[in-house]
Amino acid sequence: KAGVTQTPRYLIKTRGQQVTLSCSPISGHRSVSWYQQTPGQGLQFLFEYFSETQRNKGNFPGRFSGRQFSNSRSEMNVSTLELGDSALYLCASSLNFNEQFFGPGTRLTVL
């Protein structure tokens, strides 16, 4: 079974731009979560989607948004990029609470 895939793997943007990241979960997994990882803040939960509905949200500004499609694929959007948004963005899919499967992440650099 294929793992979680994320595209693109690397991205460079400038301040003020917006970016869209994509995540394809493991087949059959309906829950998709997004995390931001930085050296200073570690791994932080952004939001989680299940059956196209956002069920939970972390403490991030409204510039961070997401959505999930009927095939469980998910996208995350960050508008008006700031330097501090440079991070590794991780997507994870899950079938149940016991285990989340993470993708390789998208490394975003904001210049």
Partner 1 sequence: LAKTTQPISMDSYEGQEVNITCSHNNIATNDYITWYQQFPSQGPRFIIQGYKTKVTNEVASLFIPADRKSSTLSLPRVSLSDTAVYYCLVGEPPRDLTDYKLSFGAGTTVTVRA
- Site residues (CB under 8 A) for partner 1? 4, 31, 33, 35, 42-45, 48, 50, 55-56, 58, 88, 90-92, 94, 97-105, 107
Nearer to partner 1, 4 or 17 (CB): 4
How far CA 87 is from CA of 26, 47, 75, in Å, comes to: 23, 16, 16
CB of 16 to partner 1, least distance (A): 27
Is the Cβ of residue 18 or residue 47 nearer to partner 1 in the bound state? 47
Separation CA 109–CA 71 (nearest Å): 29
Give least dist CB 15 to partner 1, A: 24
Closest distance of CB 79 from partner 1, Å: 22
Q: How many CB atoms lie within 10 A of CB 1?
A: 7
Cβ neighbour number for residue 23 with a 10 Å cutoff: 27
- CA-closest candidate to residue 14, choices 88, 105, 108: 108
Query: Which one, 53 or 70, has the nearer CB to partner 1?
Result: 53
Which lies closer to partner 1 via its Cβ, residue 13 or residue 107?
A: 107
Q: Are strands 31-38 and 42-50 parallel, antiparallel or unpaired?
A: antiparallel
CB of 90 to partner 1, least distance (A): 5
